[in-house]
Structure 1
Amino acid sequence: MASDTLAADREGAIQLLRDVGLRVTGPRLEVLQLLAAEPHQDVESITEAARSRLGTLTSQAVYEMLRNFMETGLVRKFERPGRTAVFELSGPPHQHALCSQCGRVANVEVELPPAPMKGLRGWRIGDTELVFLGECPDCRGRRPK
């Protein structure tokens, strides 16, 4: 639903909030613009960056904003097992790669296979999530040769 280019500028972020029926506030605009500039941020990173520009902002306020954004389809949450979740603006369907060392997340565009029917009798599959696990280039570069 949300587009990185649309939320990257202030007017685009204002329109996104209005389109989903959320009140336009400085903190909401800041969080949307932070996610447009750098996806896959956790709540603490978002809070710190927004606080540096706005002055005061609590993690609880950011959690509440992100919850509202997810409910309206503006933002998606990506769970990283054993680590904090990260957030990104909603957009075209994509999958993720997750570094097993540092937790870095990258978007991956891949055509998903159809759901296997064996073992899913009676199921109606609504969505598929595919996560590629491995090591990011930075972590691979730090490994002794």
Structure 2
Amino acid sequence: MAVVEESTGREAVIQRLRDVGLRVTGPRLEVLQVLAAGGHMDVESITTAARERLGTLTSQAVYEMLRHFLETGLAAKFDRPGLPAVFEVSGPPHQHALCVRCGRVENVEAEVPRPAGEALTSWRMDGGAEIIFRGLCPDCLSAPRD
């Protein structure tokens, strides 16, 4: 059963690359599969995970692939203050929770409030709003503080 799921996952990733007009290459396929399986990952983590299966892959190549994935909407970037940005496969709109101690990021489904009354009448909004819930993740809550 796992082989069927892996094959289906691989085929879905191949189709996503084709749908946005990107050529399917081994490195692109692997990096997108790593992202699809790994949640929020920084470039170093993505490179390490993809390199385990490919053998060789540079961080610069991963940066370039991520740039293409961001431009085509395949991936999204989340900036963490003071820490490397993390990336995830694009999906339905969602918000994020950020651990202020370790930098862990989790997806959160929450309704985004609209500006009250006349707050932004002279603005034209082109995108959604982003809410970031800041706090301590379960691991940091249970870990002793140095």
TM-fit CA distance, 1:124: 1.8
- Give the whole-Å Cα distance in 2 for the aligned partners of 1:26 and 1:66: 14
TM-score (norm 2): 0.89
Q: Deviations over 1:30-55 (max 9, x none)?
A: 11111111110000000011111101
TM-score (norm 1): 0.90
Partner of 1:78: 78
**Which 4+ runs in 1 deviate beyond 4 A?**
none
Secondary structure in structure 2 of the residue aligned to 1:140: helix
Unaligned runs of 5+ in 2: none
Number of residues of Structure 1 aligned to a counterpart in Structure 2: 140
CA RMSD of aligned residues (A): 1.9
Unaligned runs of 5+ in 1: none
Partner of 1:127: 128
Q: Residues 36-47 of structure 1 correspond to what in structure 2 (within 5 A)?
A: 36-47=36-47
Name the structure, 1 or 2, with higher relative contact order (CA <8 Å, separation 6+).
Answer: 1
- Give the whole-Å Cα distance in 2 for the aligned partners of 1:64 and 1:117: 43
More displaced 10-residue stretch of structure 1: 109-118 or 71-80: 109-118
- Aligned partner of 1:17: which letter? L
Partner of 1:63: 63
- Give the whole-Å Cα distance in 2 for the aligned partners of 1:59 and 1:8: 28
